[in-house]
Each structure stands twice: as structure tokens, then as C-alpha cells.
Amino acid sequence: MSATAVLAEALREEDGILVYTSPAASDPRHSTDWFFDEVGRRDARRILVDLRRATGMEDGLRGSVYRRHREFEGRRVAVLGASQLQEFVVMFLVAATGHRGTRYFTDEQAARKWLAEA
């Protein structure tokens, strides 16, 4: 299966929420750029990014998010993670970009509840 096909399977809509589950074995920079391209094509205002299977938070990923963070304007983004490193990187990027509509969660139910409040 091609990398793009794997990524396409990782993105779906559920109850008005655009859900992206980061594939465990993907190139972080490519998958991040692909994700932002897809978000730009959709009208979703609520996004859940599940990083629990992601293997790292490489420079390419962080740089891509920092360069393209404006594409999240007007959207509420819940980032679901499983490690302190993920939390640190996400919170650093939120602080650096000033995007107030993004929060980090370790509990999926809490993330979905927060998104539903929008």
C-alpha cells in the first residue's frame, strides 16, 4: 500500500469531527504536510489529532506545524497523545504560535467532550 493510501485511511469524519490517527510507520514530515493539505480542503471546524501511535516528534514535523499553523485559524484542535515528550512539544508549539484553539489531552473521551463544547 502506498504512503498516501495509508494516510488517507488515517483520516475520517466522525460526528462532525475530522479525526486523524497518525500512522505508526510514516514519514512525519510527509504525513504532517499531507494532513495540513487535507485540512485545507475541508470545512471541518473541530479536529482530533491522535498521536498515540506516533513514534517521535522529529524536527521536520515540528517545523512543518510551525510554518503551517495558521491553517488551523478558526478551528478547534484536540491533540491526543501518550507521552510527556508529545505534551511538551504540542504545548511549546501552541505557545509559540499563539493558537488558543488547540489543547493537548491524554484521554480521548475528554478530548471529544472539549471539542463538542465548540
For residue 16, the enclosing domain spans: 3-116
Q: 8-12, 17-21, 56-60, 104-108: which range is least confident on average?
A: 56-60
CATH number, domain with residue 94: 3.30.750.24
* Alpha carbons within 13 A on the beta-carbon side of 65: 23
pTM, entire model: 0.83
Q: Rounded to the nearest 5°, which phi and psi values hold at 105?
A: -135, 155
Which of these, 9, 56, 3, lies nearest to 26 by C-alpha position? 3
- Can you read off the three cell numbers belonging to residue 58? 522529529
Is residue 109 very low, low, confident or very high in pLDDT (cuts 50, 70, 90)? very high
Count of domains in the chain?
A: 1
pLDDT for 95 beyond 70: yes
52 Ramachandran zone, left/alpha/beta (phi>0; psi -120 to 50): alpha
44 touches 15 (CB < 8 A) = no
